[in-house]
Structure 1
Amino acid sequence: MSDPQRPRASLRTAVVWDVLEEALNRRVEATGRKTLDVLDTGGGSGNFAVPVARLGHRVTVVDPSPNALFALERRIAEADVADRVRGVQGDIHDLFDVVERGGFDAVLCHGVLEYVEDPAEGVRHAVEALRPDGVLSLLAAGLGGAVLARALAGHFNQALRALTDPAGRWGDADPVPRRFTAEQLTETVEAAGVEVGAVHGVRVFADLVPGVLVDTEPGALDALNRLEAAAAELPAFHSVATQLHVLGQKRG
Structure 2
Amino acid sequence: MTSSWFSPSGGDLSAGYARHAGTLRGALRHALVARALRTHLPDGQQQVLDVGGGDGHQAAQLARAGHLVTVLDPDTAMLERAAARIAAEPGEVRDRVRLVEGDGEHAEDVVGGGFDAVLCHGVLMYVADPDRFIRHLARAARPGGLVSLMTKNQDALAMRPGLEGRWPDTLTALRGGPQLGNLGVTSRAHSAAAVATMLAEAGAATTAWYGVRVFTDHLGDAPVGENFDLVLDAEWEAGRRDPYRRVARLLHFVAWTAREGQ
The 1:182–1:100 alpha-carbon spacing in structure 2 relative to 1, beyond 3 Å, is same
Paired position in structure 1 for 2:34:
17
Flag structure 1 segments of 5+ consecutive residues without an equivalent.
Answer: 29-33
Counterparts of 1:231-242 in structure 2, within 5 Å, are 231-242=238-249
Note closer, same or farther for the CA distance 1:93–1:210 as it changes in structure 2 (3 Å cut): closer
Equivalent position of 1:108 in the other structure? 119
For residue 105 of structure 2, what is the amino acid of its counterpart?
H
Tell me what 1:179 maps to: 189
* 1:169 equivalenced with 2:181 (yes/no): no
Alignment match, 2:227 = 220
Count, aligned residues? 235
Q: Deviations over 1:129-180 (max 9, x none)?
A: 0111101111111124431111222333322322332xx6347995241011
Name the SS for the 1:239 alignment partner. Answer: helix
1:35 Cα deviation after fit: 2.2
Residue number among 127, 147, 159 corresponding to 1:136 in the alignment: 147
Change (3 A) 1:211 1:155: closer
CA distance in 2, matches of 1:87, 1:44: 10
How many angstroms does 1:182 deviate by? 1.1
Decide whether the 8 Å contact of 2:23 with 2:224 is kept in 1.
Answer: no
Give the distance between the partners of 1:200 and 1:238, measured in 2 at CA.
6
What is the TM-score of this pair, normalised by structure 1?
0.85
Identity %: 37
d(CA) in 2 for partners of 1:58, 1:87? 11
Amino acid at match of 1:72: A
Show the 5 A alignment for 1:122-161.
Answer: 122-161=133-172
Measured after TM superposition, the shift of residue 214 of structure 1 is 6.6
Q: Counterpart of 1:207 in structure 2: which amino acid?
A: D
Q: Is the 8 A contact 1:213 1:220 kept in 2?
A: no
Following superposition, the deviation at residue 47 of structure 1 comes to 1.3
Q: CA deviation at 1:221?
A: 2.5
2:185 and 2:132 mapped to 1: Cα distance? Answer: 22
- From 196, 199, 203, the equivalent of 2:206 is 196
TM-score by length of 2: 0.82
Match of 1:84 among 73, 77, 96: 96
1:227 Cα deviation after fit: 1.0
Residue 212 and residue 185 in structure 1: after superposition, are their counterparts in 2 closer, same or farther (change >3 A)?
closer
2:66 paired residue number: 56
Partner deviation per Cα, 1:94-116 (whole Å, 9 max, x = no partner) = 22221113x20000011110111
What secondary structure does 1:244 align onto? strand
Q: Note closer, same or farther for the CA distance 1:176–1:170 as it changes in structure 2 (3 Å cut).
A: closer
